[in-house]
Structure 1
């Protein structure tokens, strides 16, 4: 390759590897005519003619074939960036506890763990113990709970009662009691509510309110935006995970978020 092509390659590649990764994703994902046109336009904008572009693409192709591991690495990096962008768009919304009460731990904690959960989910029940252990061992973490009732109608009924408990300042007590009581049914939901001392008349009135239904709908919308495919799902700093990560997993996510602050 002559010096002119080499210079243009360096401009286009940003040092080589970045361009190889980017074009690798392009070759791997589509190879569509629209992608090819976009690449040609970018080349022309950089002052690269068709012959030079062909030479550069040959170099990139050979590099990718010799180093195919850069493709999943680049895809993972792209997904992480997309995830961080999606988180930034909803962070203020999801880290603010509903009614100021749907949280546990230190209200001024330096790391906030957001959990999306369903009272009908056995993995969420398992996670309740992990959360309790986390806040017992880390006095500077805040857990914000978001209701994501996706498994059954009973899940939705329990979620609405949890929001009613939050309005009465008794969210976490209900959260723990509901999981301890058993799978949500009309009787277990009422039993948990009465055990934590909810004003049942006020709770039932709130459950029928637009505010309660809107909160559930907003949580579902955020979960869809974040591509959460189940419960529990977590957001900690710029990290998000779906599934029961366990105490050690939560502890590691908190440590990473704290180190990034």
Structure 2
């Protein structure tokens, strides 16, 4: 039995229900005839119901993601300075890991605005994840400087509105938002970027935008309905 079999059987058990597959604790260490019998039961049932495989794999992925989120919850949910929006006492927090050079992140701007309009109990936390280019890191450092100065929102909107990211567009967005880049706290800002990169790796993120809501990790530019469904699930818990 491979190292993936027992977790998958457990997930299948949760998806199928106790009436179809015995509970995980009954065969946590099967051997001999019992192991062969259990594997045959699961094998035959899955062949008869192949639609269970993606459900079980999603459940297993959600369990693993939930554990990673729980282990790093404070670092994920606590905003850096003013890098947040919405209701400060919201009952659900949606976290976006983004890169200013990411076209999908830019495309998500109206989605986030709509979410905030439609959900008065939602808080958004923005986390810089500069993975696409050198200018991504330069933009992230300016973004975090703006957050330190309480001017993240103005800088965030101004930089996206300025078109392609460049040194000139970063300087222009900072000037428009009233952000001083002359005395940047480099150690704190670089530490924040390193922390975001480390947490993203632990969460298995491999692109932007990536989202955390409740115990779930979502990836890519998603329909608003899918994000709202995840928010509702987090609120239900």
TM-score (ref. length: structure 2): 0.83
Q: Any unmatched runs of 5+ in structure 1?
A: 1-12, 23-38, 45-49
Partner of residue 62, structure 2: 80
Tell me whether 245-254 or 158-167 shows the greater mean CA deviation: 245-254
| Residue 185 (structure 1) shift | 0.5
Instruction: Specify the SS of the correspondent of 1:149.
Output: coil
TM-score (ref. length: structure 1): 0.76
CA distance in 1, matches of 2:227, 2:45: 39
Partner of residue 10, structure 2: none
Partner of residue 150, structure 1: 131
Moved over 6 A (4+): none
Contact 2:142 2:181 in 1 (8 A): no
CA distance in 1, matches of 2:37, 2:229: 46
Residue 195, structure 1, aligned to residue 164, structure 2: no
Residue 161, structure 1, aligned to residue 148, structure 2: no
Partner of residue 199, structure 2: 222
Contact 1:21 1:74 in 2 (8 A): no
Partner of residue 225, structure 2: 248
The correspondence for 1:172, drawn from 149, 153, 157, is 153
**Looking at CA atoms only, which structure, 1 or 2, has the larger radius of gyration?**
1
Number of aligned positions between the proteins: 221
CA distance in 1, matches of 2:63, 2:148: 36
Instruction: Judging by fraction of residues, say which structure has more helix.
Output: 1
Q: Any unmatched runs of 5+ in structure 2?
A: 1-12
Instruction: Specify the SS of the correspondent of 1:201.
Output: coil
Partner of residue 213, structure 1: 190
| Residues 181-206 of structure 1 deviation map (CA, whole Å, 9 limit, x = unaligned) | 1121110000000001112322xx32
